Amino acid sequence: MTPDSPRFNRRTVLGAGLAALNGVAGTAWAQQGPIRIGSTLALTGPLSATAQIHKIVGEIFIEQVNKRGGWLGRKLEWLLKDDQSKPDLARTLYEQLVTVDKVDLLMGPYATPGILSAMGVAQRYGKVLVHHTLGIPALAKYEMSFPAWSLGTDPGNTVPASVFDALAAGPKPPKTVAVVTSKFPPIQFMSAGAREAIKKRGLTEVLFLEWDFGNRDFGPIANRVKDVKPDFVWVGAIGLEGNMLLDAMKKIDYVPPQHFYLYPSPGPLVTLPEATNALSVTIFEEHPPFTNAAGATEFINLYHERAKAANLPDISVEVQAAASYTAWQILEAGVLATKSLDDKAIGTWLKANRVETIQGRLRFDGTGQYGDDLMRVKQVQDGHWKVVWPKNYAAPGATLRAN
Amino acid sequence: MPSITLLAQSILSGMFVGALYGLIGLGLSLSWGLLRLINLAHFAFAFLAAYLCYQMATMGMDPLLTLVVIVPLFFAIGAALHWAMARFQITPFNSLLVTFGLTGIVEAIIQSIWTADFRKLESSYAEHSFKFAGLYVPLPELITLALAAGLSFGVWSVLRYSDLGKALRASAEDAPIAAAFGVHQQRNALLLAGTCSALASVAGVCLALGFTLAPSQIYAWIGVVFAAVMLGGLGRALAPLLAGIVIGVSEAVTMAVTAPSWAPLVSFTLLILILLIRPGRVA
């Protein structure tokens, strides 16, 4: 062997061999085609307005990942089906995604009834199910289901506690409270928690009323609230129910001194003049410190662009969009950490580790795999939602106000 | 115990919402009683009219002025629907199924255009309310009450005193005999069907003025309006309004005294009682 001739020692050969193997493996990944993730959303039907948010977020996330080269060297493909807001159809479609479409991974649908349907299918086939907005942790019985909405393990107690803590530290701590609430299950159990909090804190509950989901007439409820003159009104409302109640209050010239709405449609409420100083809860708002999370600003900008193009009435990133993005981040963390698409491995890893998301660092080791309660109290101030409690999450300069 | 003011305000609110039950029920009652067609699409037409009102008002038109466009449009739709029903000889029971299907189609159209999200018409009318004897009287609800009373009385007068009204009632009573006396049934039926849909469209404008709209809300009104129609009796003009007010006030007082979730029981209990005690009223 001459000094100029190439030297093939053992290390070089081994290195070349490994590189070749890596190349073959890479080619093999590529030859396997994209990773197929299956899910349904309520693209039509009564839940479709909110489901559009989840669709936009999913599309943004898939695009972002594919731009980065995908997961495990494979691009992502999202197989999205329309469950028409029907839980029974969601169950059938998830069954179809697993058995006929043979997707690699599942992503949960939107809204509690659909999520529970999908969870049954995921459990039957041992698939990981990350879900967006399941409001009752105790219902998440499947051990490989993972929540993206960080309500905490006992939101019925912790969320009302946060609200009453905020009020107690505010300018007019209430002594009398009216609790009016929808009987929609995820709402009703939180309102029951609010009643408990009222008792524990020695406050006086001056009114308790319930209405059925889909109630048309809020006039009599407004009359009842006005009649008892409460210091604070807890409104267990979902969607536009809060707007309807405020409309009814306006008609009888009544403005509640302090008022809270559990799950309002964020856009319509914030633009309603009567909603000034209305309180609600959130996991994410478009201001620091939430926007300090890695990737948050990029996501917010992309979401604004897409939501505007889709003609959504509200283009801001708040609870729904943030939970949806978080869901995809959780699934990504599981896949990348385990370097596999094996559901059991992903599930085991997620239960044992924390995941960095735009909501914060999430853990999945409590009831129903729920972790910390990251719900913050926000308030309509100057036409915007601003977090006011706890203080370290408050928008710059924002403090709780009363009417 | 609720205060006197609360009870009085609740009764007033019940009258207003009852007037809307009556206004929606007016066309339904006439169609069912005089044409023998159970038109479930009546509710869909009311909502379609509400959305059209919302759309035109959003574009700057006065909500009440939209009636100028909406009423003739729905008159034509109602007449065309009746023509199709007559052409294919749809029986009263089948009319229920056909118009239920049509309701689903209209709901899908509304959803595809305006989405499933809630819509609220912001009009200058909503900004006004009067205070009378310590009670608040919102203008949109007052307009609804006035329209419901005016139209019910107008239709009642036509049915009772005009030749057309007598001919319509005669046809409903005994069609062959009415035809033998020269009553032009087909023309009259088209006129009545068009009027029923036009009445639904007026109710739709009132819905848009006072309520939040969502496509799925179409079905929320069916039970209570049916109860008002049956309580009043079929083919009558004033009765749906009176029955609607009875139901509306009963619901509102129930909400004031007990809980809002008990209110639907009132209308459905009344409906069941009517079916049990006076089945002939809906025959």
pLDDT at A212: 82
Q: Is A267 on the interface with B (CB under 8 A)?
A: no
Q: Using the beta-carbon criterion (under 8 Å), do A183 and B261 form an inter-chain contact?
A: yes
Q: Cα separation of B21 and B213, whole Å?
A: 16
Q: Please compute the mean of the pLDDT values over residues A129-147 and round it to a whole number.
A: 93
- Is it true that A35-153+289-369 and A155-285+376-393 share their CATH fold? yes
For residue A149, which amino acid is it?
W
Flag if A240 and B118 touch (Cβ within 8 Å).
yes
The gap between the terminal CA atoms of chain A, to the nearest Å, is 92
Residues A49, A148: Cα–Cα separation, whole Å? 20
pLDDT at A176 over 50: yes
> Which spans in A169-258 are helix H?
185-200, 219-228, 241-251
State the Cα–Cα distance between residues B182 and B184, nearest whole angstrom.
6
Mutate to test the interface with B, among A224, A244, A250 (most CBs of B within 10 A): A224
What CATH number does domain A35-153+289-369 carry, 2.60.40.10, 3.40.50.2300, 3.40.50.410, 3.30.9.100?
Answer: 3.40.50.2300
Domain tally, chain B:
1
Pick the residue of A206, A209, A216 with the most B CBs within 10 A to test the interface with B by mutation. Answer: A216
User: Is the model's pTM score more than 0.90?
Assistant: no
The residue count of chain A comes to 403
Question: pLDDT at position A240, please?
Answer: 78
Indicate which of B24, B54, B109, B118 best probes the interface with A, i.e. most A CBs within 10 Å of its own CB: B118
Question: Which residue reads 């003609």 in tokens?
Answer: A311
Average pLDDT over residues A199-212: 94
Whole-number pLDDT of residue A26: 47
Q: What amino acid occupies position A278?
A: A
Over 80: is that where the pLDDT of A14 sits?
A: no
Q: Tell which residue, A342, A371, A378, has the closest CA to residue A357.
A: A371
For residue A1, pLDDT beyond 90: no
Residue A2 — pLDDT band, cuts 50, 70, 90? very low
Nearest residue to B224 (alpha-carbon basis) of B277, B276, B275, B268? B268
Judging by beta carbons within 10 Å of its beta carbon (0-12, 13-18, 19+), is residue B166 exposed, middle or buried? middle
Scan residues 310-329 of A and list those with Cβ closer than 8 Å to B.
313
Model confidence at A128: pLDDT above 50: yes
Cα distances from A258 to residues A166, A167, A198, in angstroms, run 12, 9, 15
Grouped pLDDT means (10 residues each) for chain B, 283 residues? 84 93 95 89 96 95 96 96 90 88 92 79 83 87 96 95 89 82 85 95 95 86 90 89 93 86 79 76 54
- What does the H/E/C string look like for A168-191? HCCCCCCCEEEEEEECCHHHHHHH
**DSSP-assigned letter for residue A145:** E
Give the strand pairing for B129-132 and B135-138: antiparallel
Nearest-by-Cβ selection for B17 from A46, A217, A253: A217
* Domain locations in chain A as residue ranges: 35-153+289-369, 155-285+376-393
Residue A45 scores a pLDDT above 80: no
Distances from the Cα of B196 to the Cαs of A17, A149, B35, B199, in angstroms?
84, 49, 10, 5
Task: Quote the minimal CA–CA distance from A189 to chain B in Å.
Answer: 16
Task: Quote the pLDDT of residue A174.
Answer: 97
More confident residue, B6 or A161: A161
Tell which residue, A113, A110, A154, has the closest CA to residue A130: A110
Residue B66 carries which DSSP code?
A: T
How many cross-chain Cβ pairs, A to B, lie less than 8 Å apart?
Answer: 102
Does the A155-285+376-393 domain belong in CATH 2.60.120.920? no
Least confident of A12-26, A93-107, A175-189, B268-282: A12-26
Q: Report the distance separating Cα A84 and Cα A40, nearest Å.
A: 9
- Give the closest residue to B245 by CA, choosing from B28, B45, B16: B16
> A147: which strand partners?
A131
Q: Which helix (H) or strand (E) holds A134?
A: none
Which among A46, A210, A221 has the least Cβ separation from residue B216?
A46
Residue among B136, B217, B254 with most chain A CBs within 10 A, to mutate:
B136
Q: How far is the alpha carbon of A46 from chain B, nearest alpha carbon, in Å?
A: 5
Q: Under an 8 A CB cutoff, do B260 and A215 touch?
A: yes
**pLDDT band per the 50, 70, 90 thresholds, residue A10:** low
Residues in chain B with CB shorter than 8 Å from the CB of A224 are: 2, 6, 255-256
Q: How far is A314 from chain B (nearest CA, A)?
A: 11
- What radius of gyration do chain B's Cα atoms show? 19
DSSP 3-state of A273 = helix
Beta carbons of A152 and A374 less than 8 angstroms apart: yes
CA distance B118 to chain A (A): 7
Residues for chain B: how many in total? Answer: 283
pLDDT band at A11 (very low <50, low <70, confident <90, very high): low
Q: Where are the alpha helices (DSSP H) in B120-261?
A: 139-161, 163-173, 175-180, 185-210, 222-232, 239-257
Q: For residue B245, give its domain range.
A: 4-282
Residues of A within 8 A of B138 (CB-CB) are 251
Q: Is residue B32 a contact partner of residue B229, using CB atoms and an 8 Å limit?
A: yes
pLDDT tens-digit map of A294-325:
999 999 999 999 999 988 878 999 999 999 99
User: Omega into A390 within 30° of 0, i.e. cis?
Assistant: yes
For residue A261, name the pLDDT band (cuts at 50, 70, 90): very high
Going through A250-321 in order, the beta strands assigned E by DSSP cover 259-264, 278-282
Summary mean pLDDT of chain A? 89
> Can you give the pLDDT at residue A363?
96
